[in-house]
Structure 1
Amino acid sequence: MRLEKKATVVSTSVAAVLVLMKMSVGIFSGSIAVLASAIDSLLDLTVSLFNYFALNSSEKDPDHKFHFGRSKIEPLAAVIEGFVISFSALFILYEAISKIVNYTPMEYVGTSIAVMIASLVITAFLVAFLNYVAKKTKNMVIRADALHYKTDLFSNGAILLALGLISITGEYLIDPILGIGIAFYMIYSAMPIIREGMFMLLDAAPSPEDLAKIEMVLETQKDINGYHDLKTRESGSHIFISVHVVFNVSISLYDAHLISDRLEAKFRALFEDKHVHVLIHMDPYDDSEMNVTEDVY
């Protein structure tokens, strides 16, 4: 099993445990903050399950229907995860405002504090593990999942602080006010996830730094006279590179092919943690100004 899939199994299991803990205490105590955290963990569980199946589908080999594979399932999963976070935040916001309007005191504050301490410790270990997997694999889905649980880590800490203040001061309005703050923080955290996923779905180019690396390989390659029509796009853990390379008009097809193979190898070496797909069009002269058709690769 791939490391990314193992990470989704771990995150799903942890989310299930947290849901049971927080939901029980949130319902009995009446705490909006704890209940909000429980709902968020329930969504974490759903999203982690979805991420597992998304990763499982995205790694399938190309077939007669999907010639380039199913790599776009990964950014699609990230976008869905971002919207799930946003919608759950809106629900938490609604519940918090309702509690302010219809004031009801909390119960079992001590139990709530114990549960949130346990939740904080468990989530901290999970975030550390997901960050390790995200850095090792550069997988967008795992990175989104790590960010999601990182927001949980901050919100759990804030909830724990609020519960401590409530137990000291007896001011129960701290709970719904904190719930409002958590809701806005969740929406703020979801925006980069949605944005990056949408960019990949729209075939955005890699980062300027990665593009500069690709151009450097082309500019330093011997035995070519230049290049043009460089096009790149990212799709999940895949990078697609299309370029027209200009050779000397007298070069043999065999030699031009060998040089193209070397270029492909250099491109793949730049992104060892990704699947790199290269399409090189071999030109005997610079026809960039004559080309009127678009490269659709």
Structure 2
Amino acid sequence: MQTNNHDSTILKISVFGALLFSVMGITWGILANSQMIIFDGLYSFISLGLSLLSLFAFSFIQKEDQERFQYGKDVIEPLVIIFKACAIIAMCLFAFSTSIIDLLKGGREVALGPAALYALIATVLCIIVYRIMKNKQSNSEFVRAEAAQWLMDTILSGAVLLGFIIALILNQTTLSFLTSYIDPAMVLLVSLYFLKVPVRMLIKNTKELLWMAPSTDIQYQVTQAVELAKAKYNINEDFTRVTKVGKTIFIEIDFVLSEGTIINNVDEFDKVRKEFDQQLHIEGHTKWFTLSFTKDRKWVL
């Protein structure tokens, strides 16, 4: 329960931070006539909505409902993260298309001084929020997704700051005509770069939603435990299925027994289950563990 409260607190920090940045970014962007700053503010605004969605989903998952959700509610976690990833991808593609239009129209005149000041403030504040979330370690995919969003926002703000510094320098040279292209060029580059993180989130959580095999580390731990049990009790064949959904790792192992197997009754079966459970140490996850025994392999195919 303490871990759940810890994760909830982190999500609330993310919500408050997103609210602050969305108001500041959109307002400042309009005043400075900067599409880049408006993009930053819109990203924070969308992050606010997504953070609220994560907070609601997190609270919903914590409420037990064994009658309706007999396998738990963990599937809600990748489902929400997939939605978040799709929303960020859509925003990046929209920003990319608008930046192309601005470039073709000859760029955009921006109040460089106020824009650079915003970028400096935003970069510092983003670093602070990201560090807070990063230091509060958590195994929740919700919290990891929020931290990834803040890392993206930190990179975005840093890129904006660098771009406006370059524009201020160019404005004092014979290349001042290029300054109008700085803002849409930054939007174009940042929106393309940002696509990488949500695409990874989308792929990873789609695999969980489809109950595909988990990471190789998890599979290796399970395989090692299975091989030890087979060697100890002279079991010739096993059928092992593993997947990860949210915080829960589902492990189903079916041992096919033969005449040479040295376990034959329920007490011995339970002993193998206990040994197997003790060998698996997957921190930060809940194990849903099923270990079955049969002499007829047709029941496990």
Q: TM-score, normalised by structure 2?
A: 0.88
Q: In the aligned structure 2, how far is the partner of 1:106 from the partner of 1:44?
A: 27
Deviations 1:28-47 (Å, cap 9, x if unpaired)? 11111111111111111111
Cα gap change, 1:230 to 1:84, in 2 (>3 Å): same
| Distance in 2 (alpha carbons) for counterparts of 1:141 and 1:163 | 33
Q: Which amino acid aligns with 2:63?
A: K
Give the superposition deviation at 1:191. Answer: 0.8
Partner residue, 1:67: 70
Residue 161 (structure 2) aligns with = 160
Match of 1:83 among 83, 86, 90: 86
Which residue, out of 14, 39, 44, partners 1:41? 44
Cα distance in 1 between the residues matched to 2:99 and 2:38: 10
Which residue in 2 is equivalent to 1:145? 146
Q: Does structure 2 retain, via aligned residues, the 8 Å contact 1:29–1:106?
A: no
Deviations 1:199-254 (A, max 9, x none): 00000111122111111112223752225110011100100000013563663322
After superposing the two structures, state which structure 1 stretch, 86-95 or 244-253, moved more.
244-253
**Unaligned regions of 5+ residues in structure 2, if any?**
172-178
- 1:96 paired residue number: 99
- Equivalent of 1:188 in 190, 196, 214: 196
TM superposition shift of 1:266:
2.7
Residue 66 of structure 1: SS of its match in structure 2?
coil
Q: Report deviation, 1:138.
A: 2.1
- 1:118-153 CA-to-partner distances (Å, cap 9, x unmatched) read 1111111222232334xx332222222222221211
Q: Does the CA-based 8 Å contact 2:74-2:247 persist in structure 1?
A: yes
Matched, 1:291 2:298: yes
Residue aligning to 1:169: 170
Q: How many residues align?
A: 286
TM-score, normalised with respect to structure 1: 0.89
2:251 pairs with 1:241: yes
Q: Aligned in 2, Cα 1:193/1:122: closer, same or farther, shift over 3 Å?
A: same
Cα distance in 2 for partners of 1:278, 1:147 equals 31
Mapping of residues 198-277 of structure 1, within 5 Å: 198-221=206-229, 223-226=232-235, 227-246=237-256, 248=261, 251-267=264-280, 270-277=281-288
CA distance in 2, matches of 1:57, 1:105: 45
Tell me the alpha carbon deviations over residues 79-130 of structure 1, each in whole angstroms, 9 at most, x when there is no partner.
Answer: 1111111111122123222322334643432222122111111111222232
Q: What secondary structure does 2:64 align onto?
A: coil
1:276 aligns to what SS in structure 2? strand
Q: Which amino acid aligns with 1:217?
A: A
Contact 2:107 2:181 in 1 (8 A): no
Describe the SS at the equivalent of 1:2. Answer: helix
In the alignment, is the contact (CA less than 8 A) between 1:224 and 1:246 conserved in 2? Answer: no
CA RMSD of the aligned region, Å? 2.0
Match of 2:176 in 1: none
Q: Is the 8 A contact 1:8 1:51 kept in 2?
A: yes
In the alignment, structure 1 residue 117 sits paired with structure 2 residue 120: yes
Residue identity (%): 18
Are the counterparts in 2 of residues 60 and 70 from structure 1 also a CA contact under 8 Å? no
Secondary structure of 1:64's counterpart equals coil
